[in-house]
Amino acid sequence: MNTRRPDPLAQVSDFDIRLLRIFRSVVECGGFSAAESVLGIGRSAISQQMSDLEQRLGLRLCQRGRAGFSLTEEGREVYHSALQLLSALESFRTEVNGLHQHLRGELTIGLTDNLVTLPHMRITHALAQLKERGPDVQIQIRMIAPNEVEQGVLDGRLHVGVVPQASALSGLEYQPLYSERSLLYCAVGHPLFYVDDKQLDDERLNSQDAIAPTFRLPAEIQAHYQALNCTASASDREGMAFLILTGRYIGYLPDHYASLWVQQGRLRALKPTARFYDLSLASVTRKGRRPHLVLESFLESLAATR
């Protein structure tokens, strides 16, 4: 007769965990009959599953019969071990779920300059929601030129960026955020500042010294700059503003960015009904990026603040 004991349990499967939950209920109810209403299954099914568990463990866990239900010595040990295992699983579930409610980690964002004056404030609102969900999240914002934002997202230095949307670069994903309007401006001291728009024909406008951006723009917007006499360039909108405010150049600026100088009487828009363009801004992330709960939460908030 082969009396060899079964091999020790090699691993705990989902099936074993389900059997251990049933075993715990049986012990806490004091027997099979009392556990029927708690478990919602019949006594014979409970008995069968207890037999399955004993076979899986290679141990006799309980005595059942006319004398009533009682645990064996091994059964008591397994019961206490099962309590520790099930408690650990519950703690694991609670902690993982808690990560969704209490975010931790870092978010590094690259932004094109001068977005803070946009009236939509979608980025600001999304950052506020992220900080509310994860008070311990560390946010780093880098104000850099659009081309550097895209490169930073590509090489992993940035988690996400916001840039003017031109042609998509391979390896990046773009999600439109909003549109901004840019007008053609000159400053106090420029020969055109006090000239009535009716006297400003295209030839006169296009002969003035102007500023071109060095960052990527859609072809239809580049045409606005190609029509001008661009004798200077800038890598960002703030650089363009510096040159326009000298009173020696004309150039395009977002109307929300230029509005304060306009109110102060330092800038004026030239033929605003004809000389303007609308530029889409988009969030940019890397394709195939690793899961990052803080980033995904920020992107969800950004999408929700439309």
Q: How far apart are CA 292 and CA 296, in angstroms?
A: 6
| 3-state percent helix, strand, coil for the chain, nearest multiple of 5 | 45, 20, 35
Using a cut of 0.85, tell me whether the model's pTM lies above it: no
Give the pLDDT confidence of 167-199 residue by residue, as tens digits: 888 899 999 888 899 999 999 999 999 999 999
Q: In angstroms, rounded to a whole number, what is the distance separating the alpha carbons of residues 183 and 275?
A: 6
Q: Could you tell me whether strands 267-269 and 172-187 are parallel, antiparallel, or unpaired per DSSP bridges?
A: antiparallel
Distance CA 294, CA 72 (A): 49
Q: State how far the Cα of 185 lies from the Cα of 253, in Å rounded to an integer.
A: 7
Q: What is the pairing mode between strands 160-164 and 106-111?
A: parallel
Collapsed DSSP state (helix, strand, coil) of residue 107: strand
- Rounded Cα distance, 221 and 281, in Å: 13
pLDDT of residue 46: 87
pLDDT of residue 1: 44
End-to-end CA distance of the chain: 76
Distances (CA, A) of 151 to 73, 130, 148, 296: 65, 24, 5, 20
Q: Judge residue 251's burial from the number of C-beta atoms within 10 Å of its C-beta, 0-12 exposed, 13-18 middle, 19 or more buried.
A: buried
- How far apart are alpha carbons 198 and 205 in whole angstroms? 12
- Look-up: residue for tokens 């997202």? 153
Half-sphere exposure of 55 (CA within 13 A, CB side): 7
Q: Are 153 and 172 in contact (CB under 8 A)?
A: yes
Query: What is the full per-residue pLDDT of the chain (306 aa) written as tens digits?
Result: 444 555 556 677 888 888 998 988 888 888 888 888 888 888 889 889 889 988 888 889 888 777 678 888 998 999 899 888 888 887 777 667 666 666 778 899 998 877 777 777 888 889 999 888 888 889 999 988 888 899 999 988 899 999 888 888 889 999 988 889 999 999 999 999 999 999 999 999 999 999 999 988 899 999 999 999 999 999 888 999 999 999 999 999 999 999 999 999 999 999 999 999 999 889 999 998 877 888 988 998 888 866
> What DSSP state is assigned to residue 168?
P
